[in-house]
Structure 1
Amino acid sequence: MEETESKQTLYLVMGGRVTDPRAVTFADPEGIHVAGVFSSYDAAVDAWRANAQRTVDDAEMKYVVVHLHKLLDPSA
């Protein structure tokens, strides 16, 4: 019997000061805040929203959700 392995999805939520609010170039990559790694997109969005709302008054702060599973397996 052949066992089928389900694909794991992982999402990274991170943020920091950007050089241009319209882009995702971080001014201080070593100072990026990692909010966490999440196994569901909904949990990642919740963490993103909480952090983005906390820094809403600072236009140079940006948080993003990174699809780690796409980086780990680009063929998927």
Structure 2
Amino acid sequence: MTEIDTRAPTPAQTAAQPAAHKGEQLLHLVFGGELDDPEHVRFRDLDALDIVGIYPNYATAFAAWKAKAQATVDNAHMRYFIVHLHRLLEPPVG
């Protein structure tokens, strides 16, 4: 089972993401929702999840994540996540 990183990406992590080669797609999903408890990742209402979108690289996914996270900063239970879909589609062999 692949784990979702629930922490906000740091500027260093953002800068460390490799640039996608021309034509390469490193798909990322950005989604969020209200949590039952801010200390755990358990959504209050799965039907109300906000699927922000799927992006071709980490940089654009990060920009979408940041905009949504900042827009909902007043709600302590609201969290947005970035899922590295490319890692699920082509898991490393070995």
Shorter-chain TM-score tier = 0.7 to 0.9
- Runs ≥4 residues deviating over 4 A: none
**C-alpha distance in 2, partners of 1:30/1:18?**
13
In the alignment, the residues of structure 2 paired with residue 9 and residue 48 of structure 1 have an alpha-carbon distance, to the nearest angstrom, of: 16
Confirm whether residue 38 of structure 1 aligns to residue 38 of structure 2: no
Question: Deviation at 1:66?
Answer: 0.5
Please state if 1:16 is matched with 2:64: no
1:74 is displaced (CA, Å) by 2.4
Does the aligned pair in 1 maintain the 2:68–2:80 contact within 8 Å? yes
Letter in 1 for 2:84: H
Q: Report how many residues are paired.
A: 71
Structure number with bigger Rg: 1
Q: Is the 8 A contact 2:25 2:57 kept in 1?
A: no
TM-score computed with the length of structure 1 as normaliser: 0.82
Instruction: Point out the structure with the larger strand share.
Output: 1
1:25 corresponds to: 42
RMSD of the TM alignment (CA)? 1.6
Q: Distance in 1 between matches of 2:36 and 2:24?
A: 35
In the alignment, the residues of structure 2 paired with residue 34 and residue 28 of structure 1 have an alpha-carbon distance, to the nearest angstrom, of 13
